Homo-oligomer: A and B are copies of this chain.
């Protein structure tokens, strides 16, 4: 059971690297060299992050990607949602077919409660959690 798929994983790593980088604007080639993540896959992931407004991009020589927000404004929950879709855990089960004879299905309630807990915890986690606190970062704004 996976809470986090590989693209979310790579996105987190890439964003962390950019946050820690001296240079504000970081090209994919540099991320590729440092993180050992395949370049085309990285490109795809960063393009998505850009479209979703998590990164700003600069084309042409000397271009690359920059954080759109400060690390404490970048939430793991958002990244998961971008790459893995809605955070609802109980998509498949207990929609309609089960518990036909019970008005309020207890299981559904409990699954919902678990889900709410997971989501609220995830919403609390930002890039900063990965970077430690005693540093300054290249990113600004937010």
Contacts and interface: CB of A to CB of B under 8 A. Distances in A.
Interface string A76-92: 10001000111111111
B1 A85 contact: yes
Given A1-B80, A1-B85, A91-B2, A97 B129 contact: no
Contacts of A5: 92
Question: Chain A contact residues (Cβ within 8 angstroms of B): what range?
Answer: 35 or more
Q: Which of A5, A107, A121 has the most CB of B within 10 A?
A: A107
Interface in A83-138: 84-93, 97-99, 102, 105-107, 110-111, 113-115, 117-118, 121-122, 124-125, 129-132
A97 B3 contact: no
Given A110-B129, A130-B106, A1 B89 contact: yes
Interface in A1-53: 1-6, 8-9, 12-13, 16, 36
